[in-house]
Amino acid sequence: MTDAQTKLPQTDAENAPLLTGDAARLVKLTHALNDLLTQETELLRSQRPREAGQFHGEKNRLMSEYRETLNRLQINREQLGGDNSEVRNHIKSVTGTFRETLRDHARIVLRLKSVAEGLIKTVSEEATRQTQPVIGYGSSAAPNVPKTLRPTSLSLNRTI
């Protein structure tokens, strides 16, 4: 078997068709992205975002190659065979698994983003509350607090 013809690993490898060229490359990249996102998702679930950040460069490289390969396949559709060819059905199956992994990954990232934004908002509100200037005292000896509060901004410089 040559490099152009690849029998790709998967759970039902004996049922996988013989893939060549860009079709083989697309499936290989899909498997690689799927594995990488699965690892990253597990690290995020186990509250280790810094370790998950190590995959950023590789993920970008794989996504770029995936996009290029997909564009080449869209131009050269004959590589995929007919509408119900084995190659197309196999790519649909692999892509379906990948989409599930993407959905799972997106859920955990959005959940963590929501938690982080909530923490930042709470800290910002507390900082604003503590730095409110007192503008004299009212008739009941209570401090006069301005009606409009000066905003306090916080930012994070880390990207996951």
Q: What's the pLDDT tens digit per position in 43-57?
A: 988 888 888 888 888
pLDDT per position as a tens digit, 115-124: 888 888 888 8
CA atoms within 13 A on the CB side of 83: 0
At residue 5, the 3 state secondary structure works out as: strand
With contact defined as beta carbons under 8 Å apart, do 145 and 134 qualify?
A: yes
SS3 content of the chain, % helix, strand, coil (to 5): 65, 5, 30
Relative orientation angle of helices 21-45 and 56-75, to the nearest 10 degrees: 150
At residue 19, the 3 state secondary structure works out as: strand
**Which pLDDT does position 153 carry in this prediction?**
60
**Which pLDDT does position 123 carry in this prediction?**
84
Phi then psi for 19, rounded to 5 degrees?
-105, 145
**Which pLDDT does position 16 carry in this prediction?**
65
**Which pLDDT does position 3 carry in this prediction?**
41
**Which pLDDT does position 155 carry in this prediction?**
61
List the beta bridge partners of residue 19.
6
Amino acid at 89: N
For the chain, which residues score pLDDT lower than 70?
Answer: 1-17, 20, 132-135, 145-160
Integer Cα distance of 133 and 37 in angstroms: 48
